């Protein structure tokens, strides 16, 4: 696609125009993003509800926190090992292998509900253990997707319009994030089980479809994505080579993500365990709708993502006038302040809906955030820069879930969420003072 075509396409910024821009991108971007759509639908239908599933299977709040920490470990380590595998077998086959492993992870999550506790004498394997095992596999596809997505979009987009380039693919992908919780809300309208088992079954179907589609449609003849990562031996050099604008961004982002990691998995438990609040409304034609707390949480996630979808493209356009930094800072602020707003919110459905709508604004800065990460990188090394950035951030964030789980279980949820908000605000203030702008947006 020519630079002039990119420029013409990115002039459009309406809610539907980002989809038109998305479908005008290169074939490989389209195929990868379609696969992202399928897997994102499966992940979003399941991951945000797994903490409640863990509690159903007998896990404590601290165990839920450890589950979040395992997710952080995977997020830090998998992208590099994914790159090593891609170098060995090629991008197409790596995508296929990762896709089938992720599918098997969903299968393990589903079967966990039917596996009784296993007494090994020294220890007892509770059913929730298999949710941990499933996570190790379910996240495999993401091990390839992060760096590849960043690098390909950078190659296909004019530097001064990177935020809008990411907005097009993010809007398409996160449409799955809007649809997924609404599907869950319907299936668990009365109670979490057995509806959530059907959710897991649907996740398996979409994972299979995504894997098969990417294997048949993805053309890797001229693809260099699999060569972007070179393993752990490159980390020190890659970190030294990080562009200057990324250093304060990485510091601030790490504070914000650590804070989010402390509380993210507990959002559903605030609604279902602490408030135990559902949603009841009478609508014309439809009649009375009575949602369980788990289903109401799905509705809240849908509201959150609707605001995200409506705001990402306009904010990417705003970034071209204000710069990336203010837009990224807004996203950081929402990330930081939301936990304390949620934990102290009155038990009122409309206030909670408004709060989750506000939370959707954290995604408004996501395209600008991605542009600020990969934009300053030299052309052709965007994947490695992204991999280094996410490895460092992920490694530091690893203990956040365990810390949040400990405070939730043994101290109080209120203190856990308050400390998280304070840590997040440190990141916001740091970025406001030291954060740098990407030159193409100045």
User: For the chain, what is the domain count?
Assistant: 1
52 within a domain of the structure (yes/no)? yes
Q: Does residue 3 sit within a domain? A: no
Q: Is the bond leading into 194 cis (omega within 30 degrees of zero)?
A: yes
Domain encompassing residue 142: 14-217+231-441
Radius of gyration of the chain (CA): 21
pLDDT digits (tens), the chain, 442 positions: 444 444 444 445 455 555 555 544 556 566 766 777 888 888 888 989 999 999 999 999 999 999 999 999 988 877 666 655 655 666 667 778 888 999 999 999 999 999 999 988 888 899 999 999 999 999 887 765 555 555 555 555 666 665 566 666 666 677 888 899 989 998 998 888 889 999 999 999 988 988 888 777 766 555 544 444 444 556 666 666 677 777 889 999 999 999 999 999 999 999 999 999 999 887 777 677 888 999 999 999 999 999 988 888 788 788 778 888 888 999 999 999 999 999 999 999 999 999 999 999 988 888 778 777 766 555 444 455 666 777 788 889 999 999 999 999 999 999 999 999 999 999 999 999 998 876 545 5
Angle at 331 between CA 425 and CA 358, to 5 degrees: 95
In a domain? residue 222: no
Residue of 360, 390, 363, 375 whose CA lies nearest to 323: 375
Q: Does residue 102 sit within a domain? A: yes
Q: How far apart are CA 175 and CA 305, in angstroms?
A: 8
Q: Of 424, 406, 412, 408, whose CA–CA distance to 359 is shortest? A: 424
Task: Specify if 226 maps to a domain.
Answer: no
The rounded distance, in Å, linking the Cα atoms of 171 and 136 is 27
CATH of the domain at 313: 1.20.1250.20
The overall longest dimension of the chain from CA atoms, in Å, is: 68
Looking at residue 286, the DSSP 8-state letter turns out to be T
Has residue 57 been placed in a domain?
A: yes
Residue 224 located in a structural domain = no
Residues contacting residue 129 through CB under 8 Å, at least 6 positions apart: none
Burial of 308 (0-12, 13-18, 19+ CB in 10 A): buried
Could you tell me if residue 401 is inside a domain? yes
Distance from C-alpha of 182 to C-alpha of 303, rounded to nearest angstrom: 9
């Amino acid at each position: 696609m020519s630079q002039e075509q990119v420029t013409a396409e990115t002039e459009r910024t309406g809610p539907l125009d980002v989809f038109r821009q998305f479908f005008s991108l290169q074939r490989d971007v389209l195929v990868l993003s379609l696969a992202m759509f399928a897997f994102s639908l499966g992940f979003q239908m399941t991951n945000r509800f797994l903490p409640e599933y863990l509690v159903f299977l007998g896990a404590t709040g601290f165990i839920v926190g450890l589950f979040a920490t395992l997710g952080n470990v995977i997020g830090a380590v998998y992208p590099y090992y994914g790159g090593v595998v891609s170098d060995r077998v090629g991008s197409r086959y790596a995508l296929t292998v990762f896709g089938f492993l992720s599918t098997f992870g969903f299968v393990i999550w589903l079967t966990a509900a039917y596996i009784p506790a296993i007494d090994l004498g020294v220890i007892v394997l509770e059913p929730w253990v298999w949710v941990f095992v499933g996570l190790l596999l379910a996240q495999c596809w993401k091990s390839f997707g992060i760096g590849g997505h960043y690098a390909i979009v950078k190659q296909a987009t004019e530097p001064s319009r990177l935020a809008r380039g990411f907005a097009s693919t993010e809007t398409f992908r996160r449409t799955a994030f809007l649809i997924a919780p609404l599907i869950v809300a319907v299936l668990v309208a009365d109670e979490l089980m057995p509806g959530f088992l059907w959710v897991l079954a649907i996740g398996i179907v979409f994972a299979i479809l995504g894997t098969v589609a990417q294997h048949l449609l993805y053309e890797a003849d001229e693809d260099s994505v699999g060569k972007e990562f070179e393993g752990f031996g490159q980390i020190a050099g890659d970190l030294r080579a990080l562009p200057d604008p990324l250093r304060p961004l990485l510091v601030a982002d790490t504070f914000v993500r650590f804070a989010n990691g402390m509380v993210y998995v507990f959002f559903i438990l605030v609604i279902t365990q602490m408030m135990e609040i559902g949603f009841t409304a009478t609508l014309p034609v439809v009649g009375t709708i009575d949602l369980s707390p788990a289903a109401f949480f799905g509705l809240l996630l849908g509201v959150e993502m609707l605001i995200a979808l409506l705001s990402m493209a306009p904010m990417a356009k705003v970034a071209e006038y204000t710069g990336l930094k203010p837009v990224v800072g807004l996203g950081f602020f929402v990330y930081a302040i939301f936990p304390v707003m949620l934990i102290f919110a009155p038990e009122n459905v409309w206030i909670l809906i408004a709060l989750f709508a506000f939370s959707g604004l954290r995604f408004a800065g996501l395209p600008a955030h991605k542009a600020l990460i990969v934009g300053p990188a030299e052309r052709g090394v965007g994947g490695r820069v992204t991999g280094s950035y996410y490895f460092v951030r992920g490694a530091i964030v690893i203990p956040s879930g365990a810390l949040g789980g400990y405070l939730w279980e043994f101290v109080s949820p209120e203190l856990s969420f308050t400390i998280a908000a304070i840590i997040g605000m440190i990141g916001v203030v740091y970025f406001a003072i030291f954060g740098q702008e990407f030159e193409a947006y100045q």
